[in-house]
Amino acid sequence: MSSPAPFWNLPNSLTVLRILCVPVMVVLLWDMPGPTESLLAFWIFIGAMITDVIDGYLARKWNQVSPLGAYLDPMADKLMVTTVLVMMVPLGWVPAWLCALLLCREIAITGLRGIASNEGMVISASAMGKVKTAYQSTALGFILWQTHTLDVRPWAAGITLLYISTAVSLFSAAEYFVGFVRQSRKTA
């Protein structure tokens, strides 16, 4: 019988570090950041995305998967991506409608997971959801990089990837809803 993962461990610490970077991103992206602020925002964002991969890997490898980590990890990702998206809208880097669509999708899936949990079901991250996250993170990274280089090419690549991630996001949302309906029919 294995012992439970410690409440506080390195994977959870990395996740909390990502959450603590969220207000820093707000400050850095406030009111037309200069090249220094945008470069720092780029590196913090890239660091956050890398630690997202590392904390999950370490938690599984060291058998430190915990309910706290399972709750905080997706929340940290959503907080970082949401913050960056929202802060990019008034800067004119991301269209407001695109940001709203992506945020509504996240809220809907979070709500669906809550309903599923109340019904004793688990809706795990799908392969499409992970592809969406990869496209979205890469897109936001390119857009942040563009502001540092003052070159339009990274922005064009970033916004193109963001449109692709939006399409994948909507497809994966449909996949989650279909999966939920199938699971509920099996339990009914």
- Give the model's confidence band at 152: pLDDT under 50 very low, under 70 low, under 90 confident, else very high: low
Q: Which tokens hold the place of 33?
A: 């950041």
The reported pTM is 0.87
In whole angstroms, what is the distance from residue 140 CA to residue 46 CA? 9
Decide: helix, strand or coil at residue 1.
Answer: coil
pLDDT at res. 38: 87
User: Which tokens is 135 given?
Assistant: 């496209």
Max avg pLDDT among 32-41, 143-152, 165-174: 165-174
Find the farthest-apart pair of alpha carbons in the chain and give their distance in angstroms, rounded: 57
pLDDT digits (tens, 9 = 90+) for 74-90: 899 999 999 999 999 99
Instruction: Identify the weakest region by mean pLDDT among 39-48, 123-132, 155-164, 178-187.
Output: 123-132
Looking at residues 18-42, what average pLDDT do you find?
Answer: 93
Angle at the Cα of 94 from the Cα atoms of 38 and 177, rounded to 5 degrees? 120
Domains in the chain: ranges and CATH: 10-187 (1.20.120.1760)
What distance in Å separates the CA atoms of residue 168 and residue 163, rounded to the nearest whole number?
Answer: 9
Residues in contact with 159: Cβ distance below 8 Å, sequence separation at least 6, in sequence order: 94, 139, 143
Give the residue-averaged pLDDT of 35-61. 92
pLDDT, the chain, mean = 88
